């Protein structure tokens, strides 16, 4: 998930004085803009703390510190779930999946409609569930619930920023729902339900407003696992041949093609020992 989406959705909340309870309004009351639906800072000092948190997005440690500062100084802030999600995102970027999940769960507890938190949980749990985990089924059931909750929330979510066009909001929703189907596909792969995984990955590939080659590679891997080797090879080669795709993703596509090719040869009696499908993880910006 591109974490800049969060800033794009809520940037109006961190900008302009219209987002602060203004003089003349009852104490703590939001400004009467006639448009604002999102959280409101109750003072200029709180708004400054929110802005500082947004401005710290390039540095995970600074973002954690800024979020904690906001939560500590303004315990009743309406940006509570946003701050907790920022911390979850920062820990994810630091490679600490456990803490990322803890803070995403806290963000979701603060706001059950925080679709970015539920999506992060769906992805993270699906990606980090292993074959021999004793609680594998419980983890995957949680991941799928978070994913389905995300889709349900997004389907009825209203445009949160009046400065955003309907087209922009529609594209954001498409990308987030596509990402959610990708998480459902990963859960199905962990269960070795390859036909389900193929359908989910197809929805992620076809539903995204912005093409995501990582989804195509996962679909190719699902094809290979399902024994649809020609489809796997064709799609992997398509990704490998496209320009402006990160080398890491091309290398995974190459690995998927090699696995599918070896499996196809073995199935045809031509020898070859296929390896297990590679674990494909999208690196978060």
pLDDT at 177: 97
Rounded to 5 degrees, φ, ψ at 205 are: -65, -45
CA 159 vs CA 43, 52, 176, 177: distances in Å: 25, 24, 14, 15
What pLDDT, in 10s, does the model give residues 223-281?
999 999 999 999 999 999 998 899 999 999 999 999 999 999 998 885 544 444 555 55
pLDDT at 160: 81
pLDDT at 225: 96
Provide DSSP, 137-162.
Answer: HHHHHHHHHHHHHHHHHHHHPPPS-T
Residue 197 tokens read as: 């995984």
**Which residue in this structure is represented by tokens 């993880």?**
281
Instruction: Give the global pTM.
Output: 0.84
Residue 56 and residue 66 in contact, taking contact as beta carbons nearer than 8 Å: yes
> Which portions of the chain are predicted below pLDDT 50?
1, 3-5, 7-8, 10-18, 22-36, 272-276, 283-285
pLDDT at 279: 53
pLDDT at 135: 94
């Amino acid at each position: 998930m591109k974490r800049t989406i969060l800033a794009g959705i809520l940037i109006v909340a961190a900008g302009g004085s219209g987002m602060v309870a203004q003089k003349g309004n009852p104490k703590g009351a939001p400004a009467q803009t006639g448009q604002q639906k999102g959280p409101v800072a109750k003072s200029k000092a709180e708004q400054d703390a929110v802005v500082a948190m947004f401005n710290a997005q390039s540095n995970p440690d600074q973002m954690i510190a800024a979020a904690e500062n906001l939560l500590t100084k303004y315990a009743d802030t309406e940006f509570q779930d946003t701050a907790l999600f920022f911390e979850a995102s920062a820990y994810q970027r630091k490679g600490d999946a456990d803490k990322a999940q803890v803070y995403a769960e806290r963000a979701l507890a603060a706001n059950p409609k925080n679709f970015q938190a539920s999506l992060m949980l769906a992805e993270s749990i699906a990606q980090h569930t292993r074959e021999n985990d004793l609680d594998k089924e419980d983890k995957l059931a949680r991941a799928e619930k978070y994913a389905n909750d995300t889709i349900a929330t997004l389907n009825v979510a209203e445009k949160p920023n009046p400065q955003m066009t309907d087209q922009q909001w529609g594209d954001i929703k498409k990308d987030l729902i596509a990402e959610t189907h990708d998480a459902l596909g990963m859960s199905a792969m962990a269960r070795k339900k390859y036909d389900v995984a193929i359908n989910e990955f197809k929805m992620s590939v076809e539903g995204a407003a912005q093409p995501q080659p990582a989804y195509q590679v996962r679909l190719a891997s699902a094809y290979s696992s399902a024994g649809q080797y020609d489809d796997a090879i064709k799609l992997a080669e398509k990704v490998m041949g496209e320009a402006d795709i990160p080398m890491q993703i091309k290398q995974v596509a190459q690995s998927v093609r090699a696995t599918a090719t070896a499996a196809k040869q073995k199935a045809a009696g031509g020898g070859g020992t296929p390896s297990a499908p590679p674990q494909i993880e999208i690196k978060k910006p």
